[in-house]
Amino acid sequence: MSLYYESAALIKTLDGSQDTSLKSLLFSKAKPGSDAPRKSNPAQLYALITEAWKWSSLLTEVVERAGLLAQEKKLTPQLALVLVHDLLLAKKGIAAPENHVLRQAVERHQTRIRAEFTKARVRAGCASVEELKGRLDRPNTEAEAAIESIQNANRKWPHPRWLRINTLRAAQDFLEGDEFRKWKPVGSLGEVLSSEGSPAETGRIVYYIDEHIPNLLALPPGTDLSMISAYKKGELISQDKASCFPAYLLSSGRFLQGDILDACAAPGNKTSHIAAIVFEQNRHASSQSSIPRVFAVERDVQRANTLREMLGIAGANHVKVHASQDFLKLDVNQAPWNNISAVILDPSCSGSGIVDRGQVMTFKLPSVAAASSTNGNGKSKKRKRYEKKNVPETVTDDKQDGVLVKEQDVEVNEDNAIKLETRLKSLAVLQTRMLTFAFSFPNVHKVTYSTCSVHDIENEGVVVAALASQVARSRGWRVMKRDEQVPGIRLWKHRGKEAACQLAIAAHGIVDANTDEVAEACVRCEPFTDEGTQGFFVAGFVRDGKKNDQPEEVSNGDIDEERWLGFED
């Protein structure tokens, strides 16, 4: 049964993470949440998790309609997903003894589960499970298919493999080592992106030293990192270029002074990056006590364990991890938080800038609450994604690119747009709350805010909303101007949207804001370009003087669960 327990733990760690991949977790020796070695075969874990991911929306519907979680308290949503997957779809069923408690917990409800699965198949208009499987492999709506088509058309350039030289482990003459004598440096990113053939075929790895971020290398797309010994030793860390911007931007100025906090730290790439920067800046420090400490906060226990594991691989064990700690519930006037001087804030977001959404494993998981919305006849009050709306298939006079549009499709698209707008507003409210809370720390004088979103409301909108807050205005917070930024980011050409800044400034009634200055202070990375980055946004903030030594009381309200439905780090 270790297969199911370990799969469930991995799913909890993976769900929505943009930096932590299933393969990288399987490559590590320890299982999530423990230093103990993994018992299950990695190939079996990979197969079960990827299949459960693909089927998660439909299986979640089945589990909720069957009321499984409400009746079996010992089952978590993740366990229910993988167990029901094998009950319904594995050739030999659940891989556990007949008397095992988890197998019994599922199989005592198998009649209802199988019936709900059959109903789901019929609602999808599929005559067989094989046909249903084929349906799941295709986009679920015409709108999704159109979006996918547009994204494919925009992929003019492949995405490189970015590797950060980890100075916590790598020697200063790292690129002069034996392994890298076999590598071939090139003069542009374009040469890397257009490189054909694997190292096995060409005899050497082609790489490019990035011009904006120190210690960052670009390798050809599809490079097998498991064949690079420096990667396995933690001397190289897989981290997208855009993801390196926040820590590097925080290092603006001659030195970082005072302790540093990564507020939403898991899985830990930004944390280990800022730890490496601190190490570099203090390599020759005469006293250890003068070196800034790095703290990392993570609310979720499983993600905190992943954070510790990744920091261990990076050689950043000195980072002080606070697990099960919500950033918004920190007492900023108590040690160690009252000595924090800089904050990295990369909260949950929509994840709309991620280049390959297929690589981000976001699971639809069952819940007891959803099951309670099912009536006594097993019919859900909520419309599921596999059900067709009861809308007449009349055709309107409206056309999109010369194609007649059905009324039901218009309604579906309108519903999706409304849901997206509502979700983005919820995320932006929480993001602003977290940013203004970072402003309230008594000794913090520098903050970076970042998202992997392309939506204005999560980016320039949050920046302006935070600047308009009482805590920002009373304590002297402003944007870090472009000419104050580190050289590499100062030279980066993609800046914030002036129109978005102007709209937000007008909406908040800020009369003394310089729209151009705010837009120029914001940094954007665009996906699907020859620069090889994810879609990303980052802005720096600095505090001038001490307008108010006493931090403003920041109302956090209830912790919105929307925070944990977005993409993190």
267 labelled binding-site residue: yes
Distances (CA, A) of 326 to 287, 432, 464, 502: 32, 16, 24, 33
266 labelled binding-site residue: yes
Nearest to 345 by CA among 439, 277, 278: 439
* 40 touches 3 (CB < 8 A): yes
Task: Count CA atoms within 13 Å of residue 337 on its CB side.
Answer: 22
Question: 508-527 in b/e burial notation, b at 16+ Cβ within 10 A?
Answer: eebeebebeebbbbbbbbeb
Collapsed DSSP state (helix, strand, coil) of residue 398: strand
The pair of three-digit structure tokens given for residue 99, joined into one six-digit string: 């008397």
Q: What is the CB neighbour count within 10 angstroms for residue 131?
A: 12
Collapsed DSSP state (helix, strand, coil) of residue 32: coil
The pair of three-digit structure tokens given for residue 273, joined into one six-digit string: 């990056």
Scan for tokens 């943009």, then name that residue.
18
Number of H helices, E strands in the chain: 22, 15
Nearest to 107 by CA among 371, 119, 99: 99
346 labelled binding-site residue: yes
List the catalytic residues: 452
269 labelled binding-site residue: yes
Instruction: Report the C-alpha dihedral over residues 366, 113, 10, 321, rounded to 10 degrees.
Output: 40
Question: 323-336 in b/e burial notation, b at 16+ Cβ within 10 A?
Answer: bebebbebebeeee
270 labelled binding-site residue: yes
Task: Count CA atoms within 13 Å of residue 358 on its CB side.
Answer: 7
292 secondary structure, DSSP code: P
Collapsed DSSP state (helix, strand, coil) of residue 93: coil
Task: Report the C-alpha gap between 492 and 487 in whole angstroms.
Answer: 9
Scan for tokens 């995320």, then name that residue.
427
Task: Report the C-alpha gap between 329 and 125 in whole angstroms.
Answer: 48
H or E, element range at 492: none
Distances (CA, A) of 385 to 37, 166, 171, 285, 412: 39, 44, 53, 59, 11
Task: Report the C-alpha gap between 449 and 429 in whole angstroms.
Answer: 14
Beta strand 477-479 with 536-543 is antiparallel
* 15 touches 49 (CB < 8 A): no
How far does Cα 239 stand from its chain's mean position? 12
* 212 touches 491 (CB < 8 A): yes
What is the residue-wise DSSP string for 114-138?
Answer: HHHHHHHHHHTT-SSHHHHHHHHTS
Residue numbers belonging to the annotated binding site: 264-270, 298, 346
Q: Which residues are annotated as a binding site for S-adenosyl-L-methionine?
A: 264-270, 298, 346
